[in-house]
Structure 1
Amino acid sequence: MIPYGRQDISSEDIQAVIDVLKSDYLTQGPAIPAFEQAVASYCGVKFGVAVNSATSALHIACMALDLGKGDILWTSPITFVASANCALYCGASVDFVDIDPKTYNMSVEALELKLQQAEIDGKLPKILIPVHLAGQSCEMEKIYLLSKKYGFRIIEDASHGIGGKYKGAPIGNCKYSDITVFSFHPVKIITTGEGGMCMTNDPEIALRLTHYRSHGITRQPAEMTHVPDGPWYYQQIDLGFNYRITDIHAALGLSQLKRLDDFVSRRHEIAKRYDKSLESDTLTIHYQHPDTYSAYHLYIIRHKKKEGGIGRLQMFEKLRAAGILVNLHYIPVYHHPYYENTGKYKRSDFPNAEAYYSEAISIPMHTVLTEEEQQFVIEQIEKPMGHQNLF
């Protein structure tokens, strides 16, 4: 079976984890700040705060920007549900901005129109979460300029994006945002097993993030309400969570980070072979904006049914039957019963997201994909189905 995504674990990665298992610290030890500093240095940002998942990172990012009851968060409908759920965790409400029909990221044009109407209605968002789908950055400079005009904060959901670039600079440098979030799930560019990280240039935000990930507790006397009772003393100064990452996970991430550029380069090689082979009158490959250098977490094709041909569902099932574990990223968030049952969202408000959902397929993209496996994928996509399967 050929999966759509897979981790790439080396003997060095395994040894890094073994070294931690033999050390004095399995959690809250030196591997965590070392990992945070290494990722921050790679991205050219001041602070990294590691947590146990990107979902946790999105949650505490919203908390650090004071999202709460009565506030509104906007994000893309073509994303994993965590990009929207983080607002609900804070008691805020969620709305969506339609996608660009070429990049599949949040449409700047749709965003601007929605902001103009929201200003009239008195319903501007407090936070916007643009999602860098498949590893390609959103048009962050334009979004940032709109944030200055309309007064919202920005959290980049770069769960797919570490190793990618926007306008020649690493995704995660927070030049155009308050916080950027990475994911280190096994199918992502680098993995910690499970894990995530918040990046920021704001020391106050970074401090709040570190409190929220660990019960709201501090051991720093300068942050306490009075002089410590003794060397054992700590204070809970906020209501936080147990979102800590372990040294085991951080050690794996630190080892993986050494190969990040190689991973992304390899993904580009795979993408180029797909690009050369797959575009046709029924297949559309994912457009790459000239301002971006994608991390290529995913390779997305859009399959359009032409007269007498097969539809997306038949193509999906054909590839699965051939042992190619294609997937779909993503079902529009407002399609899910939890959101649909609110009655707040009309599918007709998101025509580009609807069109995307009717055609998209994620095909295998990972660094251990061999040329032979990739060629098999291409051949199966191009191979006509048997006549009996059309009816």
Structure 2
Amino acid sequence: MNGETGALPFLPYGRQAIDEADIAAVAAVLRGDWLTQGPAVAAFERALAGRVGAGAAVACANGTAALRLAYAALGIGPGDAVVVPSNTFLATASAARHAGAEVAFADVDPATGLMGAEHAEAAVARARACGWRVRAMAPVHYAGQTAPMAELGALARAQGLAVVEDACHAVGSVDCDPSGGMDVPVVEVPVGACRDSALTVFSFHPVKTIAAGEGGAVTGNDPALMARVRRLCNHGMLRAGPDGLADFADPAAARDGDGAANPWYYEMHEPGFNHRLSDIHAALALSQLGRLDAFVARRRRLMELYADRLARLAPLVEPALAVPWCRPAWHLCAVAIDFAAAGRSRARVMAALRARGVGSQVHYIPVHRQPYWQSRYGALPLPGADRHYARALSLPLYPSMLDEDVDRVVSALETALG
């Protein structure tokens, strides 16, 4: 309960939805033998790969760890550059920089917050004019809507770039392929299937579509690439296995005098990370994955209600512009507000919402504006990202919200805007 709103609960912009089955799944791990590096992690990886249609999945500590693993597995390093849209969380760019790469910031569509092929192509051209070796791009599926992957994939192939999909907002979203024409059914491809990318990364933070407490994953289809992701996730260790002896630099040390594999033996061919996910987190994520369809359906229903209720606040408030190439599992209810026309600052509006028991957030401050990046690259003209940021406000969206909560949020917003 919230003291400012009497009997009405506070509505944060996002939160987890935990039930008794989730609690039982975690309790079962706590009562078992494995708290980490056990069977729950492997079970979640198999279930996630099957759900998104990928060849394999590697679970890890969080979405940032997933990005670091993806860049490292692709060999991104000093002298390279990665194209990153400026409308994203800090991690998409920071993970590339941690790998030693430069970041070529791309503009976005101010109405959707998404990087298009034209934005990526312009960023590639700017980077190459600086003498950078552009190796990859990391399109971000903002708020649950996918970037135009067919176009970005075609551009990447033409430019010789690897693609890492930052799908931290988009577990449960699907791309819709209309290429067959009017008389052919639309083909839906789950985000994470890596149809137009080398790797996809996910986050399972509590405000995301499914929660692990903290957690992330990398999915992909190339067995060798995914094997490298897995090694890097665990210190770069290559362990003995039924088919692994031939990969050791010192195969003699991997066997005993009778030629049998030494079960303790391991080698490190390159430094990795300790980015492992625990069985405790994996058990929660696996339980939540079983309710993914229900979570997605509820988020879509709430967004339909928002679109209907917000219509009365037009043109001051515009709901998220739906793109035609995907069916999103909405992570954010990110609306665009003309604060200047309303005569209210964004901070004042957010404070007025909070006073009425409604939380809100801003996604995102364009990353190219951050002091670190400005000191490195100077001021970049990315008007789309700046325009999106100037009007952005995220309203409450999570599966346990009631229909009447949407009415309450919109009424509070109407009052806050005067």
Instruction: Tell me the TM-score range normalised by the shorter chain.
Output: over 0.9
Contact 2:13–2:397 (CA<8 Å) still a contact in 1?
Answer: yes
Distance 1:192 1:185 in 2: 6
CA distance in 1, matches of 2:416, 2:239: 65
Matched-pair identity in %: 39
Q: Does 1:232 align with 2:241?
A: no
Give the letter for the 2:135 counterpart: K
Per mean C-alpha deviation after superposition, the further-off stretch among 267-276 and 22-31 is: 22-31
Matches within 5 A, 1:1-391: 1-116=10-125, 118=127, 122-123=131-132, 125-167=134-176, 168-220=188-240, 221-225=245-249, 226-227=251-252, 228-229=254-255, 230-279=262-311, 280-305=314-339, 307=341, 309-342=343-376, 344-347=377-380, 349-383=381-415
Taking structure 1 as the reference length, the TM-score comes to 0.94
Distance 1:51 1:305 in 2: 40
**What SS class does the counterpart of residue 134 from structure 2 fall into?**
coil
Deviates more, 1:216-225 or 1:290-299: 216-225
Task: State the secondary structure of the residue aligned to 2:388.
Answer: helix
SS of the counterpart of 1:273? Answer: helix
**Aligned-pair distance for 1:113?**
3.2
What code does the residue aligned with 2:171 have?
Answer: I
One-letter identity of the residue aligned with 1:361: L
One-letter amino acid matched to 1:61: A
Counterparts in 2 of 1:118 and 1:337: CA distance versus 1, 3 Å = closer
99-108 vs 171-180, which moves further:
99-108
User: What is the deviation of 1:132?
Assistant: 0.3
Q: Matches of 2:403 and 2:17 in 1, distance apart?
A: 16
Aligned partners of 1:336 and 1:33: how far apart in 2? Answer: 38
Q: Provide the rounded CA distance (Å) in 2 between the counterparts of 1:308 and 1:81.
A: 30
Matches of 1:37 and 1:118, distance apart in 2: 38
AA matched with 1:15:
A
Q: Distance in 2 between matches of 1:382 and 1:345?
A: 39
Q: Is the 8 A contact 1:158 1:181 kept in 2?
A: yes
Are the equivalent residues in 2 in contact too, given 1:69–1:92 (CA < 8 A)?
yes
> Aligned pairs, how many?
384
CA distance in 1, matches of 2:341, 2:85: 32
- SS of structure 1 residue aligned to 2:318: strand
Residues 273 and 215 of structure 1, relative CA distance in 2, 3 Å threshold: same
CA contact (8 A) 1:3 1:325 kept: yes
Q: Which runs of 5+ in 2 are unaligned?
A: 1-9, 177-187, 256-261
Q: Distance in 1 between matches of 2:333 and 2:417?
A: 23
Per-residue deviation, 1:224? 1.5
**Gap change, CA 1:199 and 1:289, over 3 Å in 2:** same
1:274-321 deviations in Å (ceiling 9; x for gaps): 001114011111111111111110000111035563243322221122
* Matched residue SS, 1:300: strand
Hey, what's the Cα distance between the residues in 2 that align with 1:334 and 1:311?
23
Do the aligned partners of 1:166 and 1:292 also contact (CA within 8 Å) in 2? yes
- 2:83–2:104 CA contact under 8 A, matched in 1: yes
Q: How big is each residue's C-alpha offset from its partner over 1:71-128, in whole Å with a ceiling of 9 and x where there is no partner?
A: 0111011111000011111111112100012221113222223334555665352110
Segments of 5+ residues of structure 1 without an aligned counterpart are: 387-391
- 1:223 maps to a residue whose letter is D
For the 8 Å contact 2:169–2:208, the answer to whether it is kept is yes
Look up the SS of the partner of 2:83 in the other structure.
strand
Amino acid paired to 1:155: V
Q: Is the 8 A contact 2:89 2:367 kept in 1?
A: yes
2:165 partner SS: strand
Contact 2:84 2:138 in 1 (8 A): yes
Take 1:4 and 1:215, find their aligned partners in 2: how far apart are those partners? Answer: 36
Q: Which residue of 2 aligns with 1:389?
A: none
CA contact (8 A) 2:105 2:123 kept: no
CA contact (8 A) 1:115 1:124 kept: no
Q: Kindly provide the amino acid, as one letter, of the partner of residue 34 in structure 1.
A: A
Give me the CA root mean square deviation.
1.6
Off by >6 Å, runs of 4+ in structure 1: none
Measured against aligned partners, the alpha-carbon deviations of 1:194-227 in whole angstroms (never above 9, x if no partner) come to: 0100000001111101110101112133332213
Instruction: Return the offset for 1:359.
Output: 1.0
3-state SS in 2 of match to 1:289 = coil
Deviates further, 250-259 or 312-321? 312-321
**Deviations 1:31-84, CA, capped at 9 Å, x for gaps:** 111100101001111010000111011001001100011101110111110000
